[in-house]
Amino acid sequence: MRYNIYIYILVMATVTYLIRVLPLTVFKKKIKNKYILSFLHYVPYTCLSAMIVPAIFYSTSSLLSAVAGFCVAVILGYFKKGLVTVAVSASLAVFAVEMLIKFAF
């Protein structure tokens, strides 16, 4: 660890607040450039995906259980199931597979 956690939090909170407050107070002009707008449209999805894969495969105690959880989440997400449903089902899949590994092998 290079810095105290509260220094990180301070930096994060400051940057995030500035992003939120400036458009409402100082720069009130709407962005018109379609490339910038498109870029911002894609950011949430590309950012989340980069955070999910491949990290998710190492988020449990075995690759097998992580893959099971991942598949369950992707399938349920594809069928537009709600946030909590997807999360709980993925967790149950991981739990089930890890129990199976522990007791069956």
Partner 1 sequence: MKKDFLKGLRHSVPIAVGYFAVSFSFGILTAKYMKFGFSAVSSGILSLTNVTSAGQFAAVTAIVGGSGLVEMAILQFIINLRYALMGFSLNQKLPENMSLFQRSVIAFGNTDEIFAVAISDKYPLSFHYMLGLESLPIFGWTAGTVVGFLAGEILPKSVTTALGIALYGMLISIVMPVARQEKSVRTVVLISIALSCLFFYIPLLNVVNSGFAVVICTVLSSSFGAYFFPVKEEENEV
Restricted to residues 68-97, the positions that interact with partner 1 (CB under 8 A) are 69-70, 72-74, 76-78, 80-92, 94-95
**Contact at 8 Å (CB) between 91 and 69?**
yes
Q: Does 49 bind partner 1 (CB under 8 A)?
A: yes
For 4, 33, 38, 48, the CA distances from 42, given in Å and listed in that order, are 33, 15, 6, 10
Instruction: Tell me which residue of 44, 89, 45 sits closest to 70, measured CA to CA.
Output: 89
Whole-number minimum distance, CB 33 to partner 1, in Å? 10
Whole-number minimum distance, CB 29 to partner 1, in Å? 8
User: Three-state DSSP class for 54?
Assistant: coil
Compare residues 42 and 105 and give the one whose CB is closer to partner 1: 42
Number of residues that bind partner 1 (CB under 8 A): 79
Here's the x/- map for partner 1, 18-37, by CB under 8 A: it reads as: -xxxxxxx--xxxx--xxxx
Q: Does 103 bind partner 1 (CB under 8 A)?
A: no
Whole-number minimum distance, CB 71 to partner 1, in Å? 10
User: Three-state DSSP class for 67?
Assistant: helix
CA distance 71 to 65: 10
